[in-house]
Amino acid sequence: MRGVPLTDYWLMLPMAELTIFALGTLLIDLMVPRQWKWINAAGAFIGVLFATLCLWRLQSMLPRGATGFYNALRVDRFAIFFWYLFLAGAALTIPTSARYLDIEDEHDGEYYSLLLLSVVGMMCMAAGIDIVLIFIGLELTAISGYVLVGFLRRDRRSNKAAVKYCLLGAFSSGIVAYGFSLFYGLSGGTNLAIIMRAVLGQNPHNPVVMIALLTTMAGLLFKIAAAPFHQWAPDAYEGAPTSVTGFLSAVVMAAGFALLIRILVFGLLPLRSVYTPVITVVAITSMAVGNFAALSQTNTKRLLAYSSIAHVGFMLLAFVAMGTAQLGSAAFFDGFKGILIYQVVYILMNLGALAVITSLRERNVIGDEISDMAGLYRRAPIEAVLMLLFLLSLAGIPPAAGFIGKYYIVLSLIEAGHRGLAALAVIFSLIGVYYYWKVAHAVLMRAPIEKERLHIGFGMRVAVGVTALATIVIGVYPQPLIKGVNWSLGIAQPPHAAALGK
C-alpha cells in the first residue's frame, strides 16, 4: 500500500503546529488557576508566531511551491500569501481579545483554541486543490466560527447571532457540498484540475453543469455575505463578541475570497462566461444593499457589517474584470492583484476599527453604539485619531490604504472595458463616506457620555498601533505590498514576502 511520502508532511507543518498549539491551549486552560488565564492568550500568540516562522522556513525551502498528499494540497505562492495573511489576522485578533474576554467573564481557553483551529481550516481552504480538502477546511473554519460567535453564553444577542449564523452557515455548506458532489459526478475525480478538464469538454449550458455551478457559487457567496445571501451578517456581527466580529469580518472573509479564487479561477475557468454575469449582478446588489442599509444604522457593529457587504460587492467586481478580460492580459492580472491587495488592506482596516470598538467595552457599557464612541477624542485621543485613520481607509480616501485597494480594482475594470461599472463602484464608495463620517463625527465632535478616560490594555495598544501603522504605510508607500502581491502571482518578481502588511 503506497503511503504519503514523508516530505509531504513538511507542507502541512504550519497547520500541524497550530493544531498542536490549539490542543495544548485546551489542556493548559484546564490546569491553570484563574488569575493566570492570560497564559492562554500568550500561548496562542506564541503558536501563531511559531507557525509564521515555520511558514517562513517552508517558503525559503520551496521557492516554487509544491504539491503534496496525492495532489490535494498545493502550497504555492498564492497559498503562502494567504497563509501569511491569516496568521497576521490571528496575531492581531489575539491581543485585542484578552481584556474583552476578561470583562465578559468568559472561560477563554476554548476561544483561543477555536481561533487557531479556524486558522488551520482557512489554510486548508487557501491551499487545497482537491474539493474534499477544501470542504474540510471550509467546515473547520465554519464550525469554529459558529461556536466563537455564540461564545458569550449568557448574552441573548450572542445566542441569537450564533443560531442564525449556524443555521445559515450549515445550510450554505450543504449547498456547496451538493455542488461539489455534482462536479465529482461530472468529472469522476475530486481534484480541481480534473474537474476543470471535464468541464472544458462539456457544453456550458448543460443543466447539470449549471446546477453544479450555481449551487457551488450560492454556497460560497453565502460565506462571504454577498447579497442576496447577506441576511445573516448584520445579526451575526452585532451579536458576536466584538473581537470575534473583527476576526469573522476580516480574516474569514479573506479565506472565503481565497476559496472563490481557487474554485472560480483555478478550477472553473472554462465557465467564465456563465458565472461572470451572475457575479456582476451579485456585486452590484451587494454594493447597493450594503451602502444604503448602512446609512441608517446606529450600532457600529451592524454598520460595519453592512459596510463589509458593500466592500464584498466591490471586491467581486474584480472577478467581473477577470472574467471578461483575456487570460494573461493586464486587466486580468490587475483584477487578481486588486483582490489580493484589497484583502490585505481590508483585514487591516476592519481589524483596526473593530479593535477600537472592542476597547470601548467596560463593565457596564457594551460599547457598540455610535453614541458610545462620542467624544472618544477626549477619552483616548490616540485611539480616536487611529480610528479616524481606519475610517478614512474604509472610505477609500488617500493617503489611507483603502484607496490602494480600490484603485487597483477600478483600474482593472477600466482596462477590461467596463467603464460604467467602474463609475458605479466609485459612486457607491462615495455614498459610503456619509456613514463613515457619522462615526467620525461622533468620535471628534460630540460630547462624551462616559467622562472617564478609557483604559486600554497593552496588547490592544500594540495591535491597534501595528494595524494603523501598516494602514498608513501601505497608503503612502504601497510598493512593498504590490511587490509581494506580484510575487504571489508569480509575475516576474523575486520572492519578497517580508512586507506583506503585518
Partner 1 sequence: MVPITTFHYLVVAAILFVLGVMGVLLRRNLVIALMSVELILSAVNLNLVAFSRMWGNLHGQAFAIFITVDAVAQTIAGLGILIAFFGNHETGQ
Point out which residues bind partner 1 (CB under 8 A): 131-132, 135-136, 139, 143, 146-147, 150, 153-154, 156, 159-160, 162-163, 166-167, 170-171, 173-175, 177-178, 180-182, 184-185, 188-190
Q: How far is CA 277 from CA 10, 314, 319, 320, in A?
A: 41, 15, 10, 8
With the C-alpha atoms ordered 388, 483, 115, 34, is the resulting torsion angle positive or negative?
A: negative
Which residue carries 485578533 as its cell?
Answer: 93
- In angstroms, what is the minimal distance from the CB of 388 to partner 1? 37
How far is C-alpha 13 from the geometric centre of its chain's CA atoms?
22
- In angstroms, what is the minimal distance from the CB of 244 to partner 1? 14
With respect to partner 1, which residue has the nearer C-beta, 230 or 311? 230
Cβ(274)–Cβ(213) under 8 Å?
Answer: yes
- What is the SS3 assignment for 237-288? HHHCCHHHHHHHHHHHHHHHHHHHHHHHHHHCHHHHHHHHHHHHHHHHHHHH
With respect to partner 1, which residue has the nearer C-beta, 63 or 174? 174
- In angstroms, what is the minimal distance from the CB of 154 to partner 1? 7
With respect to partner 1, which residue has the nearer C-beta, 216 or 393? 216
Which residues partner with 128 through β-bridges? 73
Which residue carries 451575526 as its cell?
Answer: 236
Task: Give start and end residues of each alpha helix (H) in 375-478.
Answer: 376-379, 381-395, 402-415, 419-444, 458-476
With respect to partner 1, which residue has the nearer C-beta, 182 or 282? 182
- In angstroms, what is the minimal distance from the CB of 332 to partner 1? 31
With respect to partner 1, which residue has the nearer C-beta, 73 or 143? 143
Q: How far is CA 202 from CA 268, 271, 322, in A?
A: 12, 10, 22
- In angstroms, what is the minimal distance from the CB of 135 to partner 1? 7
Buried/exposed code over 245-279 (b: 16+ C-beta within 10 A; e: otherwise): bbbbbbbbbbbbbbbbbbbbbebbbbbbebbbebb
Half-sphere exposure of 386 (CA within 13 A, CB side): 27
The amino acid present at 99, given as its one-letter code, is R
**Whole-number Å distance between alpha carbons of 16 and 121:** 11
- In angstroms, what is the minimal distance from the CB of 177 to partner 1? 4
- In angstroms, what is the minimal distance from the CB of 205 to partner 1? 19
Cβ(414)–Cβ(376) under 8 Å?
Answer: no
- In angstroms, what is the minimal distance from the CB of 153 to partner 1? 5
With respect to partner 1, which residue has the nearer C-beta, 236 or 360? 236
- In angstroms, what is the minimal distance from the CB of 147 to partner 1? 6
Cβ(214)–Cβ(274) under 8 Å?
Answer: no
With respect to partner 1, which residue has the nearer C-beta, 247 or 377? 247
- In angstroms, what is the minimal distance from the CB of 198 to partner 1? 11
With respect to partner 1, which residue has the nearer C-beta, 170 or 278? 170
Cβ(314)–Cβ(429) under 8 Å?
Answer: yes
With respect to partner 1, which residue has the nearer C-beta, 42 or 170? 170
With respect to partner 1, which residue has the nearer C-beta, 131 or 387? 131
Cβ(146)–Cβ(169) under 8 Å?
Answer: yes
With respect to partner 1, which residue has the nearer C-beta, 64 or 156? 156
The Cβ of residue 346 has, within 10 Å, a number of other Cβ atoms equal to 27
With respect to partner 1, which residue has the nearer C-beta, 39 or 170? 170
- In angstroms, what is the minimal distance from the CB of 195 to partner 1? 11
How far is C-alpha 297 from the geometric centre of its chain's CA atoms?
23
- In angstroms, what is the minimal distance from the CB of 111 to partner 1? 15
> Omega before 399 cis (within 30°)?
yes
DSSP string, 21-67: HHHHHHHHHHHS-GGGTHHHHHHHHHHHHHHHHHHHHHHHH-TT-EE
Ramachandran region of residue 86, left (φ > 0), alpha (ψ -120 to 50) or beta? alpha
